[in-house]
Amino acid sequence: MKPDKHFPVKARLFEHQYQAADVALAHLADGGGYALLMQMGTGKSLTSIAIVGKLWKERRIRKALIVAPLSILGVWEEEFQKFAAFGYELTLLTGSLTHKAEIIRGVSSPSLQVLVVNYESAWRLETELLRWHPDCIIADECHKIKTPGARASKTMHKLGAAAKYRLALTGTVITNKPIDVFSQYKFADPSVFGGSFYLFRNRYFDMTGYGKYTPVMKQAMETEFTQRLHSIAFRATKAECLDLPDTTDVIQRIDLESAALRVYRQLVKDSYTELQEGAVTVTNVLTRLLRLSQLTGGFLGSDDDPRPEQVSSAKLDALEEILESADGQKLVIIARFVPEIHAIEQMLTRKGIRYAIIHGSVTDRAAQVTAFQTDPTVQVFIGQIATAGLGITLTAASTMVFYSLDYSMSNYEQTKARIHRVGQRYPCTYIHLVARGTVDEQVLKALKEKADLAKTLVDDCRAGRNPFDPYRRMYAAGKDV
Written as tens digits, the pLDDT of the chain (481 aa) is 444 568 999 988 999 999 999 999 999 999 999 999 998 889 999 999 999 999 999 999 999 999 999 888 888 998 999 999 999 999 999 889 999 999 999 988 899 999 999 999 999 999 999 999 999 999 999 999 999 999 999 999 999 999 999 999 998 888 778 999 999 999 999 999 999 999 999 999 999 988 788 899 999 999 999 999 999 999 998 888 878 878 989 999 999 999 999 999 999 999 988 888 888 888 888 999 999 999 999 998 766 676 889 999 999 999 999 998 888 899 999 999 999 999 999 999 999 999 999 998 888 889 999 999 999 999 999 999 988 877 899 999 999 999 999 988 888 999 999 999 888 888 999 999 999 999 999 999 999 888 888 888 888 888 888 888 855 434 444 444 3
Cα separations (Å) of 437 from 249, 256, 291, 380? Answer: 19, 9, 16, 29
- The residue among 175, 209, 236 that closes a domain is 236
Q: Which of 236, 262, 278 is the C-terminal boundary of a domain?
A: 236
Q: How many residues does the structure list for the chain?
A: 481
Residues 138 and 278 both lie in one domain: no
- 469 inside domain: yes
Is 9 among the domain residues?
Answer: no
Strands (E), 246-318: 247-254, 299-300, 309-310
Dihedral, CA atoms, 471, 473, 477, 481, nearest 10 degrees? -30
Range of the domain at 387: 247-477
Give the rounded distance of the alpha carbon of 44 from its chain centre.
12
Residue type, 372: F
Mark which of 216, 236, 256 sits at the end of a domain. 236
CATH (domain of 141): 3.40.50.10810
Q: Would 465 be classed as within a structural domain? A: yes
Does 347 lie in the same domain as 212?
no
Q: Would residue 242 count as lying in a domain?
A: no
Q: Does residue 2 lie within any of the structural domains?
A: no
Please check whether residues 83 and 122 belong to one and the same domain: yes
In a domain, 5, yes or no: no
